[in-house]
Amino acid sequence: MADLLRLMQNRHDVRSYTDEPIEPEIAAKLQEEIDATNEIGGLHIQLVQDDPKGVSGFWAAYGQFKNVENYLAMVGPNTMRLDELCGYFGEHLVLIAQRLGLQTCWVGLGFNRKKGAFEKAEGERAAVAIAIGHGTNMGASKEAKAASEISNLGSDSPEWFRRGIEAVQLAPTVMDEQQIRIDLLEDANPDGRRHVRAIAAEKGHYNYVDYGIARYHFEMAAGMENFVWV
C-alpha cells in the first residue's frame, strides 16, 4: 500500500518526451501487464511504439504534447461502460509504467483515433490514449480540489475513507476537470463493510474516464475490505 501511494504521489503528467525508445525489457514487462489487464477487463488495450502521428495535430499542440511516439491505445467493446473501464484499468497501467521508470499523460482531444497503427475490431471503440515514454522532465504537481469539493469527508470519518479521498485528490484527469463526488453513507453490509457512493458529472469532457481513474485510486487506497460501492 505504501509503495502504491508513493507512486500516486510521485507521478505527474508529462507532455514532452525525448527520442529515447522504451527499452525492450521494459516494454516486455509492460506488455505482460497489458495482456493481464485486457483479460481481466475485457478490453483491447495496445502498446503502440514509434508512431509520431498517434498524438498529433491541433489539439495535441493545444495540449502542449511534444514528441509523443509511444502511447497506449485504450480500445474496447463500444458499451456504455467503456470510458469508465478505460479510466480504471488505464490508471493501473499508468502506475505500472511509473514503477518501471516511465512517464505518462492521459490524452483526449489530441488522440488520432483514425490511425491504422492499432487494431480496432468491429464493435470496438478507441476511447482515449495514454502517452508513455521517457519524459524531458518529471512533470509537476498540480493543485488538487479540496476534499470538501469531492466528498463528505469529515473529522469523524474512518481512516480508510480519508486515505481513499486523499488518493482521489492525487488522481489525474484527461482534461484537468475532476468532476466526481464520493460520499460515505451510513448504511453497511451485514459483514460490516460501509456503503460508498460515487457520482460522475453528467456533462464534461471525458468525465467517465476520469470517474474510472478516481474509482481506481479510491479502491487501492481505501481497501475493498472496508466498503462496497452502491
Residue 62 confidence (pLDDT): 84
Q: What is the pLDDT along the chain (230 residues), one digit of tens a residue?
A: 668 889 999 999 999 999 999 999 999 999 999 999 999 999 999 999 999 999 998 888 888 999 999 999 999 999 999 999 999 999 999 999 999 999 999 999 999 998 789 999 999 999 999 999 999 998 888 888 999 999 999 999 999 999 999 999 999 999 888 889 999 999 999 999 999 999 998 777 899 999 999 999 999 999 999 999 99
Place of cell 501511494: 5
Q: Measuring CA to CA, how many Å separate 34 from each of 37, 50, 75, 92, 97?
A: 5, 18, 12, 10, 11
Residue 172 confidence (pLDDT): 96
- Containing 48, the helix (H) or strand (E) segment is strand 46-48
pTM of the complete model: 0.96
H helical segments located in 21-176: 24-41, 57-62, 82-99, 147-150, 159-169
**CB–CB of 131/104 below 8 Å?**
yes
Angle, vertex CA 134, rays to CA 129 and CA 138, nearest 5:
95
Angle, vertex CA 12, rays to CA 83 and CA 175, nearest 5:
40
Residue 197 confidence (pLDDT): 98
